Each structure stands twice: as structure tokens, then as C-alpha cells.
Amino acid sequence: MALATIEKIVPTIEDCLSLLRVLARSATGQDMSVYTTFSTGGRRPGDLDGPQEYHVVLLDNGRSNMVGTEFQDMLRCIKCSACMNHCPVYGAVGGHAYGSVYPGPMGSVLTPMLVGVEQAGLLPNASTFCGKCESVCPVKIPLTGLMRHWREREFERHLTPQTMRTGLGLWAFFAKRPALYRVATRLAMAAMGLIGRKRGSFSSLPLAGGWTKGRDMPAPEGETFFARYARSQRS
């Protein structure tokens, strides 16, 4: 007996071999991985051994609900782990931190679809949106865009913490006013530069205590992006 999810079915053995070539190269850079198993089905007339019957159980588990939605592209995933190997968040926290069978960028998209965004809403937020996962994905899944869709749904359903909603509101207020935004960033950089040099200064940073209580936040660079950009334009 074999167990497979519905998106892993391919029409022919030729398609399977092509898929395995892409999978192994994207996952480990090998011609063939060592964890590939071939099952040939039930025993046919003339075979010396083999099972009399062979059963394949296809697991849906919510995957068919992705068809026709903005998340349909996720069904192309071949589980090669290329996105995980290049994800800075996954590299920093590891797979167990995701609390799911599917970690990394692909898990951040797939898991909320399987168990609900109410239970897995934190996963789409575990991304810097650097886009590296998309650039290395062999089947070109728009992972950052799909994570953004989940973030939007989470925000629309008021599943995000009030502190996050307040923080985003404050950022939007300043972002709509460029002059005020630049003044605020200069002041923030100066303050963080002074405090950040002292070890443990950010242990109880408002809105980010969950991050800073276990690690020291490094002091920022000496100037803002706008200041550096203006200086480069003058030179």
C-alpha cells in the first residue's frame, strides 16, 4: 500500500522521471536522491514474487479547496525544499519552530490552507519577503505573493494582534507624510544608536518584547537610507 497526496499524481512514468530529475537537483544537487522508492504494483502473470493486490490511498486533506483560488499555484509544489535551503528565516529558526509538517516558505503557504489561517496565521508572517524562495523554486510558485494573500486575510478577519494593527497604523501615518517620516527616522536612529551600544537595553522593547527578550538587538548604522542616498547623489 502507498499513501500520496493528490497533487503528487503524474500521468506517465516519463513524467515521473522528469519530476525526479528536477526534484533531486533542486533539493540536493544530485542526479538522484537516496530516498526515492519505486513500487511496481501488484504481481502480474509470470512474476516470481510481489503482492497480489496493491492499493494507493490518495490524501486530499483540503487540497482540492485550493483549486480555482489564488492559492492554486501551491499545488505545483514538488516538496524539493529549495525554498527552505535559501530562506533566511528558516535558516535562523529551523524547521521545528514552524510547528507543522511543512516548514519554510512553502509550509507558510500550504499549512494555513490545510488547518486554517486561524491556527496557522503566524506562519505567513515568518518571512522577510526577500524573494529568494521564488527565485530558486523550480516550478516558479509565487511564494511571497501567496504569503501576502494570507497576511491580508488575517488582517481582514482581525486575527492579528492589536499591537501589530496599531504599529501598522502608525507606520502608515508617517509613510503618507515623507517629511515627517524622515525626521522620525533620524530621531529613531539617533536614539537606537545610543541605547543599542549597551547590552540588554532592548530586553523590554515595546511591541517587540518577544524578539528582544531572548537576544540583543544590534545598534543600527550611523545614518538612514535617505541620508546615504542623498550623500551618494551628491558625490
Inter-residue contact 189 to 220 (CB < 8 Å): yes
How do residues 159-170 score in pLDDT, each as one tens digit? 888 888 888 899
Q: Where are the domains of the chain?
A: 2-156, 177-234
Mean pLDDT of 117-125: 92
pLDDT digits (tens, 9 = 90+) for 58-116: 999 989 999 999 999 999 999 999 999 999 999 999 999 999 999 999 999 999 999 99
Q: Nearest 5 degrees, angle CA 124-CA 174-CA 146?
A: 20
8-26 burial, b if ≥16 CB within 10 A, otherwise e?
eeeeeeeeeeebbeebbbb
Q: Partners of 3 in the beta sheet?
A: 57
Q: Read off φ and ψ for residue 31, nearest 5 degrees.
A: -70, -35
> For cell 482540492, what's the residue?
64
In words, the CATH class of domain 2-156 is: mainly alpha
pTM of the predicted model as reported, rounded to 2 decimal places? 0.75
**Closest listed residue to residue 158, CA positions, set 117, 100, 98, 123:** 117
Q: Please name the residues in contact with 193: beta carbons below 8 A apart, sequence gap of 6 or more.
A: 219, 220, 222
Phi first, then psi: give them for residue 102, nearest 5 degrees.
Answer: -110, 105
Q: For residue 76, give the C-alpha cell.
A: 505545483
User: Please, what is the average pLDDT of the chain?
Assistant: 86
End-to-end CA distance of the chain: 69
Query: In this predicted structure, what is the pLDDT of residue 84?
Result: 95
DSSP secondary structure letter of residue 37:
-
Diameter of the chain by CA atoms? 83
Greatest mean pLDDT among 25-34, 118-127, 203-212: 118-127
Residue burial 114-148, b: 16+ Cβ < 10 Å; e: rest: beebeebbebbebbeeeebbbebbbeebbbbebbe
pLDDT band at 38 (very low <50, low <70, confident <90, very high): confident
Instruction: Compute φ and ψ for 163, nearest 5 degrees.
Output: -60, -40
Q: By three-state DSSP, how is residue 166 classified?
A: helix
